[in-house]
Amino acid sequence: MQTDKTRYWLLAAPALAVMIVFYIWPLVNIWAISMTEPALGFGNYVKMTESQAVQTSFVITFRVAALTTVICVLLGYICAYSITNVIRSARPLLIAMVLLPFWVSVLIRSFAWIVLLGRSGLVNDAMRDIGLIDAPMRLMHNEFGVVLAMVHVMLPFAVLPMMANMRGIDRAYTEAARGLGASEFTAFRMVYLPQTLPGVASGALLVFVLSLGFYITPALLGGGRVLMVSEYITYQIQEFLNWGLGTAISVALLVATALVLIVAARFVNLRSALLERS
């Protein structure tokens, strides 16, 4: 007779099989390629650490991801706060507006930004027509455009965990604080804000980790000038057929992301930050 445990394993088996065949196995292969192509050993990793371009790419990636995270958390906090606490009646509509971008492909949203930010895009044309500028401003193919578009894509990932957290906070706490002599702002700072930090942490972590490996938006808005790691890997493999170096960098990115999570785990309860989103 089967125990309950084996029956549950059997239920999970199809999904597990797909993961192993199409995800874990290729991943292992990538590790293998990075150690064997073109020659056995750590040659690719040595090359990687010596390459100025790779280092620059990593620095750009972390900088863009950090900037995106900070902006997303700030804007998302205000957004989540308003939806949860201020505008009660319009809440379903506002939540729908936060979720709406999820239903539009990232590719389409990125092209939309190009239409807006290009040399003769809507923004530049409009400002020139009004007479605010003489020559078109450079709004994309730089970090400004990349971060702007990434914030747009990542914002829901910041808003949703923070909103879930804020919904669980009883209004009674801030009322109590005010009843005991705290001004509105002091009550927010000393009583409300500390209770929302777990939500902030999980939102920030989610955005940061997703941003580290982001490809489409930086590739389109960066126009090859803001070379983030995932795009750099694509170049190595597609353009230069340099599988060895490409896979080595991808392993490095994976390790870097894992390190971020390990460091974060010291400060944040990862379990509640990433898994439980009630």
Partner 1 sequence: MTDAILSIRNALKTYGETNALDHVDLDVAEGEFLTLLGPSGSGKTTLLTAVAGFTQLTAGTVSMRGANITSLPPEKRGFGMVFQGYALFPTMTVGQNVGFPLKVRGVGKAEIRDRVKECLDLVQMAAFADRMPSQLSGGQQQRVALARALSFRPQVLLLDEPLSALDKKLRADLQWELKALHEKLGVTFIYVTHDQEEALSMSDRIVILSGGKIQQAGDPETLYNRPRTGFVANFLGKSNFADAKVLAHLPGAAACDLGGAAVEIDSPAPPPVGTTARVALRPERIVLGAAGGPGVPGRVAQISYLGERAQLIVETDTLGPLLVSRPTWKAGIHPERDLPVTLTWDRDACVFLEEA
Please give the residue ranges that form the binding site for partner 1 (CB under 8 A).
Answer: 170, 172-173, 175-184, 186-187, 190-191, 194-195
**What is the closest distance, in whole angstroms, from the C-beta atom of residue 190 to partner 1 in the complex?**
7
Comparing CA positions, the residue from 144, 156, 154 lying closest to residue 64 is: 144
Strand residue runs (E) in the chain: none
- The nearer residue to partner 1, 110 or 196, going by C-beta atoms, is 196
Q: What is the dihedral of CA 20, 21, 22, 25, to 10 degrees?
A: 70
- The nearer residue to partner 1, 138 or 189, going by C-beta atoms, is 189
Comparing CA positions, the residue from 72, 89, 75, 3 lying closest to residue 214 is: 72
- The nearer residue to partner 1, 92 or 181, going by C-beta atoms, is 181
**What is the closest distance, in whole angstroms, from the C-beta atom of residue 170 to partner 1 in the complex?**
7
Neighbour tally for 152: CB within 10 Å: 18
- The nearer residue to partner 1, 94 or 187, going by C-beta atoms, is 187
- Distance in angstroms (rounded) separating the CA atoms of residues 12 and 244: 34
**What is the closest distance, in whole angstroms, from the C-beta atom of residue 194 to partner 1 in the complex?**
4
Q: Which residues contact 170 (CB under 8 A, 6 or more apart)?
A: none
Structural contact between residues 246 and 237, judged by C-beta atoms closer than 8 angstroms: yes
**What is the closest distance, in whole angstroms, from the C-beta atom of residue 66 to partner 1 in the complex?**
26
What's the alpha-carbon Rg for the chain, to the nearest Å? 23
**What is the closest distance, in whole angstroms, from the C-beta atom of residue 174 to partner 1 in the complex?**
9
- The nearer residue to partner 1, 23 or 173, going by C-beta atoms, is 173
- The nearer residue to partner 1, 156 or 161, going by C-beta atoms, is 161
Alpha-carbon torsion 180, 185, 186, 192, what sign? positive
Comparing CA positions, the residue from 219, 227, 214, 223 lying closest to residue 121 is: 223
Token pair, residue 202, equals 């999980």
- Distance in angstroms (rounded) separating the CA atoms of residues 95 and 159: 9
**What is the closest distance, in whole angstroms, from the C-beta atom of residue 197 to partner 1 in the complex?**
8
**What is the closest distance, in whole angstroms, from the C-beta atom of residue 191 to partner 1 in the complex?**
5
- The nearer residue to partner 1, 195 or 272, going by C-beta atoms, is 195
